[in-house]
Amino acid sequence: MPPLTRQGTLDSLELRAARSPKPAPPPCARAGESRAGLSWQRLLLVLLLAASPLAAQTEPRPAAPNERRAVIIDTDPGTDDAMAILLALSSPELDVRAFTVVPGNVTADQALDNALRLVSLAGRCDVPVAGGARRPLAQKLITAEFVHGENGLAGIELPAPGCAADARFAPDLIIDLVHAMPGEITLVPVGPLTNIALALLKDPTIVPLVKEVVIMGGSITEGNVTAVAEANIFNDPEAAELVFQAGWKVTMVGLDVTHKTNFGRQHLERLARTHGTLNDFATEVMAFLVELAADFGADGTPMHDPLAVGVVLDPSFVRTRHMRIDVETRGEHTRGATVGNRHNAVERNEPEGDRLKMTGIDRVEPNAHVAVEVDAERFLALFIERLRNR
Ligand code: BDR
Ligand code: CA
């Protein structure tokens, strides 16, 4: 039986109500209230909303496009970031215009050094690598060497970088590239959203010029830092809120799908069957992550950042729901949560005397295509295939 998620709870509440339109109220309830404290009128409204076109349905996604997609990958390497970088550089469908580096999994300096070592290993000094923010917008930097190894790359010592860092500040490089290729660039942030937010704050005119923003981050079902917050959002919630509300096309590839995309021992065996510089490095990193997951009792490790790159390569790896996402920046237990409004609607309450009175339902604009289903095995097969003998 799948774990009972918050979504599951909501769905089953609605389902129960749908199956028996007007059950007798429990004796302990006040007149007109259900056990859950909802009036029957409100439940009816919830049901109407669920059935109305306002409710978000899952959307089919287009298959892999024929044309190459120009991308900027904003990253905090990081073990799974490293896998995302190698996947991107091994995929002819992608035209990687830059790697912009953000602190998160490791410090800004370590992340830049790691990104340079990775593009050097791939022999791709033609792709600019630029350092950016040194800390989140409004809180202390939180790093995660505990998960990624002391150097962020599973403790594996790659050769010193042969490629040099681009001198430009990452948010400036993003702005320049977006203006140089209007309508063509897909931003793929797979770390905290600080650099993207700084680019937005400095030049909001980039919004209509960006093709799409495919974010690895967030979740509408569970967290991996707190009960409800995912790391990339938790590590800079103010930046994330700016990015979600900017008005561009956002696809959120969060824990809802990355936690279903587990790379396990059987995948490791397949990856280890072939050899090459990138292939062997990927095998070592994935072995580290699979072992780490096993230490915590998990059968396989989630492919967070690689899946976001995979969704750009082939959007049909996931199904999405178009809904409103707001980032919680204040909650005592919920800071950094991506709050998904599955019905794209909120209750309208208006003053009447000394109280507020519900007078209807207001629509809220959806702002994100949230990935909710994934064809994990097809993606994992692509990942292994792309690194074969590389
Ligand atoms: C995200 O957090 C980081 O640790 C990973 O690199 C990934 O981007 C997953 O929550
Ligand atoms: Ca990352």
- Are 130 and 34 spatial neighbours (Cβ–Cβ below 8 Å)? no
pLDDT, residue 312, reads 98
Is position 9 within any domain?
no
Token digits for 210? Answer: 């960006």
Is position 349 within any domain?
no
State whether the beta carbon of 230 lies less than 6 angstroms from ligand 1: yes
Q: pLDDT of 17-69, one tens digit each? A: 222 333 333 333 333 334 444 565 565 565 556 555 545 678 878 887 778 99
Which residue ranges of the chain lie beneath pLDDT 50? 1-37, 54
pLDDT, residue 60, reads 77
Is position 13 within any domain?
no
Q: pLDDT of 56-80, one tens digit each? A: 678 878 887 778 999 999 999 999 9
CA distances from 158 to 2, 116, 119, 279, 388 (A): 40, 10, 11, 14, 19
Index of the ligand 1 atom closest to the CA of residue 224 = 10
Is position 354 within any domain?
no
State whether the beta carbon of 192 lies less than 6 angstroms from ligand 1: no
- Cα(316) to centroid of ligand 1, in Å? 22
Is position 165 within any domain?
yes
The CATH number linked to 238 is 3.90.245.10
DSSP state of 288: H
Q: Which of 232, 255, 286 to mutate to test the pocket of ligand 1 (most atoms within 8 A of CB)?
A: 232
Is position 81 within any domain?
yes
pLDDT, residue 82, reads 98
Q: Which domain holds residue 165?
A: 59-321+369-387
For the chain, the average pLDDT equals 89
Is position 160 within any domain?
yes
Partners of 213 in beta bridges: 187, 250
Q: Nearest ligand to the C-alpha of residue 79? A: 1
The total of structural domains in the chain comes to: 1
- Are 100 and 213 spatial neighbours (Cβ–Cβ below 8 Å)? no
CA distances from 385 to 25, 182, 205, 379 (A): 58, 32, 39, 10
Is position 33 within any domain?
no
State whether the beta carbon of 305 lies less than 6 angstroms from ligand 1: yes
What is the value of pTM for the model shown? 0.87
